[in-house]
């Protein structure tokens, strides 16, 4: 089995936090083809998700007033999350060749399919990328239902405390 060039290439000598370390890793990953756009892959995912969404909506309509609608709601939640992931990939300009068409796709998926504000999400996500995992600056690790910091987890009470104690199993299976 051939060894990956990622494992055998010598790393340049750089200091931690030096931008050159990022560029070196990006070049290695790019040369290995790991960040190449794969529109066919995303098209396949989009088709499968659209078919599953149509099936879920059909199931909701056919079930009528039934407790089984809860299963449809769970399926809908999972599907919309997957569409949100596609919007995320489009926002990172990973799906289509042009930035403008990626933005249009991301905006359509977020606003019209998932029902979240693409612009609000982009603002928040840009702040996350500017200061990833920096306490007090990265909005993605602020105190919420999921706790990223021990101090935040200790503040939880009642149901949120129960969720926080099990968040690794509930949110990241």
| Structural domain for 155, as ranges | 143-173
Domain count, the chain: 2
The whole-number pLDDT of residue 10 equals: 56
According to the model, what pLDDT value does residue 1 have? 47
**pLDDT given at position 132:** 85
Residues 75 and 129 in one domain: yes
Same domain? For 105 and 165 the reply is: no
Query: Is the domain of 100 the same as that of 163?
Result: no
What is the model's pLDDT at position 18? 65
What is the per-residue pLDDT for 155?
Answer: 86
| Torsion sign over Cα 30, 172, 80, 119 | negative
Whether residue 107 sits in one domain with residue 43: yes
Is 149 found in the same domain as 68? no
Residue 87 and residue 160 share a domain:
no
**10-residue block means of pLDDT along the chain (173 residues)?**
51 61 84 88 97 97 94 96 95 92 97 96 90 85 79 86 85 63
């Amino acid at each position: 089995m051939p060894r990956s060039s990622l494992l055998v290439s010598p790393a340049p000598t750089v200091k931690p936090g030096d931008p050159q370390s990022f560029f070196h890793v990006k070049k290695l990953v790019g040369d290995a083809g790991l960040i190449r756009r794969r529109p066919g892959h995303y098209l396949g995912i989009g088709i499968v998700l659209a078919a599953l969404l149509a099936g879920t909506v059909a199931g909701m309509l056919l079930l009528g007033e039934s407790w089984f609608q809860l299963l449809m709601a769970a399926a809908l939640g999972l599907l919309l999350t997957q569409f949100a992931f596609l919007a995320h990939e489009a926002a990172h300009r990973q799906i289509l060749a042009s930035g403008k068409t990626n933005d249009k796709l991301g905006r359509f998926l977020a606003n019209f399919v998932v029902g979240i504000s693409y612009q609000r999400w982009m603002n928040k996500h840009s702040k996350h990328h500017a200061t990833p995992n920096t306490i007090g600056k990265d909005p993605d690790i602020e105190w919420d239902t999921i706790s990223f910091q021990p101090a935040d987890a200790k503040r939880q009470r009642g149901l949120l405390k129960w969720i926080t104690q099990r968040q690794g199993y509930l949110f990241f299976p």
